[in-house]
Structures are given as structure tokens and as C-alpha cells.
Amino acid sequence: MSRYYLTTPIYYVNSTPHIGHAYTTIAADILVRHQRQRGDETFFLTGTDENASKNVRAAEEAGVDPKTFVDDLVEDHWRPLPARVGASPDFFIRTTDEGHHRFVQEFVQQIYDNGHIYEDIYAGLYCVSCEEFKTEDQLTPDGLCLEHGTKPEWIEERNWFFRLSAFQEQLLRLYDERPDFVLPDFRYNEARSFIAGGLRDFSLSRAGQPWGVPVPWDPEQVVYVWVDALVNYLSALTYARPGEDLREEFWPVAHHLIGKDILRFHCVFWPALLLAAGYEVPRQIFVHGWLLFGDRKISKSSGNVIEPLELTEIYGIDALRFYAARVARFGQDGNASADDLHERYERELGNDLGNLVSRTTAMIVRYREGRIEPAAWDSPFRAELEQLARLVPARLDEYDLSGALEAIWVVIRSLNRYVEERAPWQLAKDATKSEELDRTLYDLADGLRAVAIALAAYLPETASRILVALGQSDDLAWEGVAYGRTAAAEGIAAAEPLFPRVELETAVA
Ligand code: MSP
């Protein structure tokens, strides 16, 4: 059995979850669910990054202590995020967890003991929103942060430095030996040229901060929040299951999913820190683009503007998951909009898939009293489903979420054409065509069953509804994506529409 460990970035708690955060979580959930279907032992981690100094300020402004402040945000907004998009992580890490603190201390102590940390004075401009020291080329001509448009603060303090420069050669070797360490290729190139351009040591601690993980050999300082955050991918494995050390099973088979804005931290700093502490580097890092939602304001019928993430309340969770995977090739930026979501909901989910399920079940009711009999034959769907069973895993192994989904849609379209070509309503009029009608209905039911299994990672709820509607088992094992596995069933009823019509005026105003 293979093991598969997938992580999302851990989210800053100071904002509320939006569609961009949901995007990574959805993509990760699709990949993990698929891997589970293939029989892999999986571990899916997500969580929150809470030790940023900006939380101390925000808490002060809110008049509460920092822990109460982050607890409220996490419980009200962040812990519910996975369920809001149908994701089921195995563990939700908070960097304020005691287990995380303990491990971060152990981890940096190892780096210190291995001689990769030294003391020095740091002076420079620090952007609190990025939690990063800025060089001049990272600022506007007026000296503002390129990302946030805010004025960075001048900081001068005694810090502990990580000897990143010493890892340049080793990192370059790693990149040369493992051309798929970072995907897609253009991100690999970006990371590699950053390393080749020369690496500067960075400060691994911050002085005079009451919030964060104390540096074990100098408790006056706390561990730099980005180091503390990156370590979550390892720390979680040490305490997610009390009494178990999951590192043995899931390190280094880690796959990190990240947005393009945090590439350097993950593709350069993180492997160097791991090597310095004596760990193997993760298996792979996939860098995705941004999902940009059109600026047209989306309003509820009440007139209140809604966050695109709330579109699940109108279209359902599966529709948003579908759209996230469909809107752009994963890795590239995607231009999303409520209109586009609506159009795809109607055409692809409603017409292509939903109607096919309704028609198929209705015909089984009308022509065969709700019964499906085994009628596998030398059907064209044998080859089609074989191809589907091969293409989807191959594409998902390359994080090609939209490509794998397209392979499934090829079969859905083909099933729709089959209905038209075979015209069961004609066959039903001719008693000599009874066997042909059996075969046709069987092929439609069987194709839909296989499609449901293939789609389950994307549309978990819909997949299960299709299998129930066809009287089939809920076994999602990937072997089921094959022709002729539909079991005899009776009592099938005409299915309710899977994707009921949504009036655009209600959805978006
Ligand atoms: N806390 C850090 C990550 C630490 S990981 C050890 C952080 N948090 S974040 O909340 O600002 O961003 C988390 C992720 O959300 C990043 O991968 C970022 O790229 C992603 N997204 C935020 N907005 C986004 C879009 N509009 N589209 C796609 N993803 C974007 O960075």
C-alpha cells in the first residue's frame, strides 16, 4: 500500500476565509479523496497560522488577550472552513497547540545543535502584513510594500540567524536530481533560479515579542513566525494521534499544495531548514495560481453583498467544488465569476449530468418497472471506461484537476449521445428490440455508476446520490471505474433533479 500525505498552507487567522483559501482546500480535498479511492493510506492536514505579531496588535485593539482573540477567530471562521466546502481533513493544526510549540522548539534546537544558527544584529525594513523583511526591490519607489501598499517598519535588533547561504549547493543538487520536486515546471525554474541567484542568511528569531514560540536557548526571543509555520507540516505528525508518531508513515511522502505567493518559503527555506535539522525534504511541492473572482458584486435576494464562498448556499457545495476544478488549469491563474459559475452549473452540471441521471432513471422506471438486469455485452463503453480509469489517475498524479475532470466529461457527453443514438423510446415500441433496450439501459446505468465513482473525489455528495438512485453500493474503490460492474437492482425510482434550477436574479443581482 502506498502512503500519501497532503497539506494545505495554514491560513492566517486575521482575515475571514474567502474563496481563495477555499480554492486550496478544495483542490487538496479532491486529490486526497482520489488517492483514498486508489487504496492509498492518506493523511490530509490543514489548519491555522496564529503566531503572527499582527494578532497581538489586533487583539489589543479588540481589547482581549491574544489567545482569546485567535481562539474566537479559529472556532468561528477557520475550523468550519473545510466542512463548508465538503473537505474532510484528518487533522486541523493550530500553531498555538502545545504539541506544535514543543516540536518547533525541538526542531530549531536541532538546527542550533547542528551548528547552522548564529547570533547577529539585524537592521532592516519589516512588513508586518507579510511577516517578512523587505529588500529595496520589494518596495515601491515611495518605500511601500509592493504587496500591501503599507509602510514597512524599521527594525534593528539582536537576532538568531539561520545559515541559509550554506545550503545553496545542496539545494541546487536536490533540484537537479529531482526535476519534479516543484511543479509546475515554470515554478520549478523560478525556485531554482532564486537559489542559483545566491541565498542570504535570514533571521530565525524575533526579539521583544511576547507572542509565539520561545527560542529554547534564548527565551527572550521567539521563533520567526514563518519558520514556526512551516514546521507545522512535521509537528502535526507527532501529536495528531495521541501515542503515535505518524512521521514514520507519512514523512517524507509529503505533498505540499501552496499558492504562488509563498513559493520561496516552501521551495527554498523549508527544504533548507529540514536538511539543517537532519530531515529528508518533502516528496513534492505543487504551486497553484490565483483564483480571481470578477469584480461584479454578488448580492443575495436580500440585497446583501455576498462573498463568492457563500455561493455554496445557492448552488450547493458540490457545484463550487466543480467550478473550482473546472475554471482554470490548476497551476495557472483563473478568472472566475458568478456568471460563469451559473452558466456551467446549468449547462454542465444541470444538463450534461443531472438530466442524464433523470432521464436514465425515468426510462428504467418506464420501460423496466424500475429494474436493472445484468446485460453486459461487447459494449463501446468497455473501452471508454478503461480509458477513463487510466486517464483520471494519470492526470491527477500531475495535479491536473481540470484535465481529469474533462476526461470524465468526455464519458458523460458520450453517454448523452448514446441516449440520442439508441433512442430507447423507439426500441421500446418494438418487441423484437427488447434485448437491445436492456443493453442500452444497462450501459447507461453502468456508465453513470462508473462516472459517479470517478467523480466522487470532486462531487462527493452528487456521486453518492447517483449510486443510491441506481440502487448500487457506495463502494468508491477505483476498480469500480470499469465496464459491467453494475449489480442487478430493483425499486429504482425516477431521480429528483441533482442540480435544481437557480434563478440568476436570485443568485446574483
Ligand atoms: N500563513 C501563510 C502560510 C503559511 S504555510 C506554512 C499564508 N496564509 S494566507 O492565509 O495568507 O494564505 C494561505 C494560502 O491561500 C496561500 O497559499 C495563498 O496563495 C492562498 N490564497 C489566498 N488568496 C488566494 C486567491 N485569491 N486564489 C488562490 N489562492 C490564494 O500565506
Residue 148 annotated as catalytic: yes
Query: What amino acid is encoded at 419 in this protein?
Result: V
- Report the share of the chain in percent with pLDDT over 90: 83
Give the total number of structural domains in the chain.
Answer: 2
**What is the reported pLDDT for 501?**
93
Ligand 1 centre to CA of 24 (Å) is 8
Task: Give the active site residue among 100, 116, 127, 255.
Answer: 127
Q: Which of 241, 261, 289 is the last residue of a domain?
A: 289
Instruction: Based on the fold, state whether residues 276 and 386 are members of the same structural domain.
Output: no
Instruction: Based on the fold, state whether residues 65 and 179 are members of the same structural domain.
Output: yes
Query: What amino acid is encoded at 298 in this protein?
Result: I
pLDDT in tens, 364-395: 999 999 999 999 899 999 999 999 999 999 99
- For 222, the grid coordinates are 521567539
Instruction: Based on the fold, state whether residues 174 and 92 are members of the same structural domain.
Output: yes
Ligand 1 centre to CA of 258 (Å) is 7
- For residue 91, what are the CA distances in angstroms to 104, 249, 452? 18, 15, 27
Which atom of ligand 1 approaches the CA of 293 most closely?
26
Q: Is the pLDDT at 342 greater than 90, yes or no?
A: yes
In a domain? residue 332: no
Q: State the residue range of the domain holding 456.
A: 349-504
**What is the reported pLDDT for 306?**
66
Task: Give the active site residue among 145, 255, 267, 288.
Answer: 145
Ligand 1 centre to CA of 292 (Å) is 13
3 state DSSP class of 299: strand
Residues 6+ apart with CB under 8 A from 196: 172
Q: How far apart are CA 9 and CA 232, in angstroms?
A: 9
Instruction: Based on the fold, state whether residues 282 and 402 are members of the same structural domain.
Output: no
Q: Report the residue among 262, 295, 323 best suited for mutation to probe ligand 1: largest number of ligand atoms under 8 A from its CB.
A: 262
Of 297-306, 416-425, 451-460, the range with the lowest mean pLDDT is 297-306
Residue 130 annotated as catalytic: yes
Residue 18 annotated as catalytic: yes
In a domain? residue 339: no
Query: What amino acid is encoded at 155 in this protein?
Result: I
Instruction: Based on the fold, state whether residues 72 and 213 are members of the same structural domain.
Output: yes
Ligand 1 centre to CA of 74 (Å) is 16
Instruction: Based on the fold, state whether residues 271 and 417 are members of the same structural domain.
Output: no
pLDDT in tens, 284-313: 999 999 988 875 555 555 555 667 888 899
Ligand 1 centre to CA of 274 (Å) is 22
Residue 145 annotated as catalytic: yes
In a domain? residue 306: no
Q: How confident is the model at residue 126 (pLDDT cuts 50, 70, 90)?
A: confident
Residues 6+ apart with CB under 8 A from 378: none
Residue nearest (by alpha carbon) to ligand 1 atom 13:
11
Q: How far apart are CA 343 and CA 23, in angstroms?
A: 19
In a domain? residue 338: no
Q: What angle do CA 482, 399, 463 make, to 5 degrees?
A: 40
Contact between 276 and 114 (Cβ < 8 Å): yes
Residue nearest (by alpha carbon) to ligand 1 atom 26:
20
pLDDT in tens, 167-194: 999 999 999 999 999 999 999 999 999 9
Instruction: Based on the fold, state whether residues 465 and 357 are members of the same structural domain.
Output: yes
Q: Which of 289, 304, 331 is the last residue of a domain?
A: 289
Query: What amino acid is encoded at 150 in this protein?
Result: T
**What is the reported pLDDT for 293?**
83
The conformation of residue 127, written as its DSSP 8-state character, comes to E
Task: Give the active site residue among 67, 148, 151, 429.
Answer: 148
- For 137, the grid coordinates are 526591490
Q: How far apart are CA 265 and CA 225, in angstroms?
A: 11
Of 281-295, 304-318, 334-348, the range with the lowest mean pLDDT is 304-318
Instruction: Based on the fold, state whether residues 366 and 278 are members of the same structural domain.
Output: no
> Position of cell 436570485?
506
Ligand 1 centre to CA of 410 (Å) is 33
pTM, two decimal places: 0.94
Task: Give the active site residue among 18, 54, 77, 433.
Answer: 18
Residue nearest (by alpha carbon) to ligand 1 atom 21:
20
Residue nearest (by alpha carbon) to ligand 1 atom 5:
9
Which atom of ligand 1 approaches the CA of 292 most closely?
26
Q: Is the pLDDT at 495 greater than 80, yes or no?
A: yes
Segment 328-352 shows an average pLDDT of 94
Ligand 1 centre to CA of 454 (Å) is 29
Instruction: Based on the fold, state whether residues 59 and 152 are members of the same structural domain.
Output: yes
Q: How confident is the model at residue 274 (pLDDT cuts 50, 70, 90)?
A: very high
Pocket residues for ligand 1 (CB within 6 Å)? 9-12, 20-21, 23-24, 49, 229-230, 232, 258-259, 261-262, 290-291
**What is the reported pLDDT for 128?**
82
In a domain? residue 302: no
Which atom of ligand 1 approaches the CA of 289 most closely?
28
Q: How far apart are CA 123 and CA 116, in angstroms?
A: 20
Cα 74 versus chain centre, distance? 19
Specify the DSSP element, H or E, that contains 66. Answer: helix 66-73
Long-range contacts formed by 175-183: CB under 8 A, 24+ apart = 180/284, 181/267, 181/281, 181/284, 181/285, 182/267, 182/284, 182/285, 182/286, 182/287, 183/284, 183/285, 183/286, 183/287, 183/331, 183/398, 183/399
- Report the share of the chain in percent with pLDDT over 70: 97
Ligand 1 centre to CA of 300 (Å) is 27
Q: How confident is the model at residue 101 (pLDDT cuts 50, 70, 90)?
A: very high
**E-only strand ranges, 36-106:** 41-49, 91-94
Residue nearest (by alpha carbon) to ligand 1 atom 6:
230
Of 226-240, 305-319, 327-341, 448-462, the range with the lowest mean pLDDT is 305-319
Long-range contacts formed by 376-383: CB under 8 A, 24+ apart = 376/442, 376/446, 376/483, 376/484, 377/439, 379/439, 379/443, 379/483, 381/411, 381/414, 381/443, 381/446, 381/447, 381/483, 382/483, 382/484
Residue nearest (by alpha carbon) to ligand 1 atom 19:
259
Which atom of ligand 1 approaches the CA of 229 most closely?
6
Where residue 231 sits, what CATH number does that domain have?
3.40.50.620
In a domain? residue 245: yes
Contact between 39 and 124 (Cβ < 8 Å): no
Instruction: Based on the fold, state whether residues 357 and 267 are members of the same structural domain.
Output: no
Residue 267 annotated as catalytic: no
Q: Is the pLDDT at 52 greater than 60, yes or no?
A: yes
Q: DSSP alpha helices (H): ranges in 345-458?
A: 356-368, 380-397, 401-422, 424-427, 434-455
> Position of cell 509537528?
235
Q: Report the residue among 18, 26, 233, 261 best suited for mutation to probe ligand 1: largest number of ligand atoms under 8 A from its CB.
A: 261
Q: HEC states along 381-392?
A: HHHHHHHHHHHH
Q: How far apart are CA 246 and CA 36, in angstroms?
A: 17
Instruction: Based on the fold, state whether residues 43 and 191 are members of the same structural domain.
Output: yes
pLDDT in tens, 67-84: 999 999 999 999 999 999
Q: Which of 289, 320, 341 is the last residue of a domain?
A: 289
Q: Report the residue among 8, 11, 107 best suited for mutation to probe ligand 1: largest number of ligand atoms under 8 A from its CB.
A: 11
Total residue length of the chain: 509
Q: Is the pLDDT at 509 greater than 70, yes or no?
A: no
In a domain? residue 234: yes
Where residue 423 sits, what CATH number does that domain have?
1.10.730.10
Q: Is the pLDDT at 15 greater than 90, yes or no?
A: no
Residue nearest (by alpha carbon) to ligand 1 atom 17:
259
Ligand 1 centre to CA of 225 (Å) is 15
The chain-wide mean pLDDT, for the chain, equals: 94
Ligand 1 centre to CA of 13 (Å) is 11
In a domain? residue 157: yes
Instruction: Based on the fold, state whether residues 127 and 20 are members of the same structural domain.
Output: yes
Long-range contacts formed by 223-227: CB under 8 A, 24+ apart = 223/104, 223/105, 223/108, 224/131, 225/49, 225/51, 225/52, 225/53, 225/131, 226/131, 226/132, 226/265, 226/269, 227/104, 227/108, 227/162, 227/269, 227/273
Task: Give the active site residue among 54, 77, 260, 300.
Answer: 300
